[in-house]
Chain A
Amino acid sequence: MTARKIGSSQIVTALMLLPAAAIFLGLFVGSLAFFFVQSFWKASTFKVTPDFRPGNYLDVVTNYGEVLLYTLGVGVLVASLTTTLAFFFAYAVRFALGRLGDLMLAIALTTLFGGYLVKIYAWRTILGSDGIINSALINLGLIDRPLSFLLFNLGAVVVTLTHYLLPLAILPLYGALRDVDETELAAARDMGASRSRVMLDIVLPQVRPALMASFSVCFLLAAGDYVTPAMVGSPGNAMFGNFIQSQFGLRMNTPSGAAMSFTLIGTSLVLLTLIGAGLRKGLQPR
């Protein structure tokens, strides 16, 4: 009886896993493996021939090295900014705001319902030359001509991405902060810790996995993005994703595009591993 029960529950578990596993293995791992193989192929004009050569990767490093560094930099900037803002927001909701906090959280999460493109266009409307900020300043008589430095630059990319990613960063942090026992904070204070020491010694180490989760999500989405830089960024400062897109699209050079994609994935993972290790070391109990 018991044996049959375990057997049938295992079958049920397997059945429940099957659809997701099929989609994951078939569509994600499968196509990723295909492109990984192709990243070593050779592309000549309008033709792709199977091969095994690391040339594509060398090309990426020589031709796109700077763009890659710039893109990783933007990713780190956006992820750091977003994670910091999200942490303070989640901290206030968890420890300071009481009832009001629930409302703030609900509002923050409601912005998840807004589409990604809608947000980008919203920021174009806000920052553009006939946008809300410029019209307001002109109507107030503070400026004569629209400020042009608001849109189509790195600042606009960072603002747009941060706005888009903030609720995604808040969720894991708020979840982790809920598990932090307020008594521990009081105990640390009692033992002589200042508020900032409590934050550093007690709160941050306990939410470190969530900090890393938020940072990683923001970093990967920001560093891999190509729509935001195209829509609100400066045309001269395209990000890595824009070049990948053009390899797959305009140039139809899939081996090169695949090699660029895997370079981005690889460097991103290395960078995140290093940041994770640094965070672990920095927040270790001394």
Chain B
Amino acid sequence: MAVYNLTVNNKKVKVDVEPDMPLLWVIRDFVGLKGTKFGCGMAMCGACTVHLNSQPIRSCQTPISVVAKNAKITTIEGIGDSQLHAVQQAWIDEQVPQCGYCQSGQIMSAVALLKTTPNPTDEDIDAAMSGNLCRCGTYDRIRKAIHKASDSIKSSAGVGGGK
């Protein structure tokens, strides 16, 4: 066991866990944030996607010992601040989720995509989102919602809308 000081969603937390424990289980069972999901345990489904310093990572394959001391971890509970993130709002507008279980991971991947590619094409979306499985088959709506979120982020930033 070892003590780790983490910053999760801008809050400092301290956990005492085995060094090889994946970040996923630290977040879920020790920090107590259940929005990040377990799906495969081998980075094949993306349900466990969180941001480490704004980069999307598969938390099921990230041992806590490799998470740097000052790293900022962001989970689905932390992207919206006081209100919904534009991506979350677009997910509601397009009624994307069915069961919803994979959607935390989908949204984390989409938020990261829009940070680096504010104006994504369908091909950009396919490339960035192909690591996230959805067994309910919501892919068509995910594409639409990402375009919608892109528009809404641009218009709220005052840089003009349109695709």
Q: Check if A and B associate.
A: no
